[in-house]
Amino acid sequence: MQLILDKLKLRYSRRNTEIVKWKDDTGGKVIGCLPMYFPEEFVHAAGLLPVTLFGDDGPIAHANRHLMTNACGAVRGTFEDLLLGKYDDLDGVAAVLICDQVRFFFQVWSLDHEFDFFHQMWRPFNIDQSSRPFLLNELKRLKSALEEFTGNAITPDKLCESIRLFNETRSLMRALNDIRKTRPGLLKASDLVKAIAAGMIMPKEEYNSILKELITQTRDSDYESGEKPKVMVCGHPCGMPEEEILDLIEEMGAVIVGDDFFTGSRYFSVDVPCSGDPVEAYADFLLNLIPCTTYHYPQNWIGQDRSISTYGDYVADHVRENGIQGVILLREMYCDPFDLEFVMLKKKLEERNIVHITLNTGHEAGSLETQRTRIQGYLEMLNC
């Protein structure tokens, strides 16, 4: 089991060189997709390899010159990689404009670097049926752009085939995630996020067979259950959560049994419906994802059942339904969608008596030793 996890982690850490290798082996083209929610299936159906772009979490030496001071880690990290030439082997880049930071800086990308394919997909911020026609239109625009770039028609059959393949990936990821719920502590959270992220940069065909083997081996592993407090970790909308923080939480005696990371539940919780027109189905999929701080839910603002935070409700329900004792909020510094939701989220957790703690994360977020004290103090609070 650990051997496969280590292999996937290695693939993740070598993600940029893997692209070159894949291109040499297959002669194919690669499109880099910025987190989050990019319709990778469309890229795949056009005969291209979609890879998610994760920025480096090391020091930022070049990007700061071009970006506003309050740019988030995901934005800084990917821009730094672009300036360092790490994306030179990509044939194109694409992004769903999920927040103002991505909207702004992705446009700067096009000024700094010429790609053969460059696509910005708009998406509605309000999640309700009135947004559907706009979303559908954007998906059609993406489809046409990819068809024009490749010369390949994205037929409904091809798109359905890709959707089925990606649904299989999501379902395998869910199966792996279920193991950590039923056998808490068997899989390290930091291993799991990297194993999921590896699936976003590898060809799904290859990844799915590796994941099947991993699931078999994980199910067969010896396991000793313990009485550790179960926590959910959420926040950190894009990019890779810090391995050190996840490890600290588990070293200090808790087990992470739930998350809402992009490299976690956010990516694999919902499948694309396989019936009817696949473009329409994809629009429905994007409107029915798990609640996210980058979306607004206007239906909840009016009427009697309104909620101050749909996202907060989702987190609180998840905690209650899964017998989780507490929530650790990773507050990615300078992520404005999360920050704007943060106060309402905290209020919601307080209302529902859910013990929580906030850890600031991201570039230059503070010393690990202070985080250790916070985490230990929090877990002692849970155990009391």
Partner 1 sequence: MIVAGVDIGSQTSKAVVLKGDNIYRSALFPTGTDLYAVARKVVENAAQELGHTFDDIQRIVATGYGRVSVPFAADTMSEITCNAVGAYHFYPDARVIVDIGGQDSKAIKLNDEGKVVNFAMNDKCAAGTGRFLEVAAETLGVSVAELAALSRRSGNRIRISSTCTVFAQTEIVSLIARRTPQEDIAAGLHESIVSRVYGLVNSIGPGDTGRVVMTGGVARNDAIVSLLANAMKREITVPEDPQIVTAFGAALVARSRVGSE
- List of residues contacting ligand SF4 (CB under 6 A): 72, 74-75, 98-99, 101-102, 237-238, 294, 332, 335-338
- Alpha helices (runs of H) in 199-326, residue ranges in sequence order: 204-220, 243-251, 265-268, 278-287, 310-321
- The phi and psi torsions of 343 (rounded to 5 degrees) equal -65, -40
Angle between helices 278-287 and 132-150 (to 10 degrees): 130
Cβ-based nearer residue to partner 1, 306 or 347:
347
Please give the full DSSP string across 51-71, using - where no structure is assigned. EE-----S--SSGGGTS-TT-
329's enclosing H/E stretch is: strand 326-332
The 314-353 contact track toward partner 1, x by CB under 8 A, reads ----------------------------------------
Looking at the Cβ atoms of 333 and 382, the one nearer to ligand SF4 is 333
Which of the choices ligand SF4, partner 1, none does residue 195 contact, using the CB cut-off of 5 to 8 A by kind? Answer: none
What's the rounded Cα separation, in Å, for the pair 216 and 199? Answer: 17
Binding of partner 1 at residue 377 (CB under 8 A)? yes
Check binding of 365 to partner 1 (CB under 8 A). Answer: yes
Distances 252 to 104, 358, 373 between C-alpha atoms, Å? 39, 16, 10
Q: What gap in Å lies between CA 36 and CA 41, rounded to an integer?
A: 14
Of these partners, partner 1, ligand SF4, none, which one is at the site of residue 369 (CB under 5 to 8 Å by kind)?
partner 1
- Looking at the Cβ atoms of 325 and 376, the one nearer to partner 1 is 376
The residue among 99 and 215 lying less far from ligand SF4, judged by its C-beta, is 99
Q: Which is nearer to ligand SF4, 136 or 290 (CB)?
A: 290
Q: 351 Cβ partners below 8 Å, 6+ apart?
A: none
Among partner 1, ligand SF4, none, what binds residue 254 when CB lies within 5 to 8 Å by partner kind? none
Judged on CB neighbours under 10 Å (0-12, 13-18, 19+), 303 is exposed
User: Does 275 help bind partner 1 (rule: CB under 8 A)?
Assistant: no
* Number of residues in contact with partner 1 under rule CB under 8 A: 13
**Out of 107, 155, 225, 373, which residue is the one contacting partner 1 (CB under 8 A)?**
373
In angstroms, give the least distance from the CB of 196 to ligand SF4. 17
- By the rule CB under 8 A, 363 interacts with partner 1: no
Residues 48, 293: Cα–Cα separation, whole Å: 30
Tell me the closest approach of the beta carbon of residue 247 to ligand SF4, in angstroms: 21
Give which of ligand SF4, partner 1, none residue 322 binds (C-beta under 5 to 8 Å, depending on kind): none
What whole-number distance in Å separates Cα of residue 249 and Cα of residue 234?
Answer: 13
> What are the φ/ψ torsions at residue 72 (nearest 5 degrees)?
-75, 170
Name the site residues for partner 1 (rule: CB under 8 A).
360, 365-367, 369-370, 373-374, 376-377, 380-381, 384
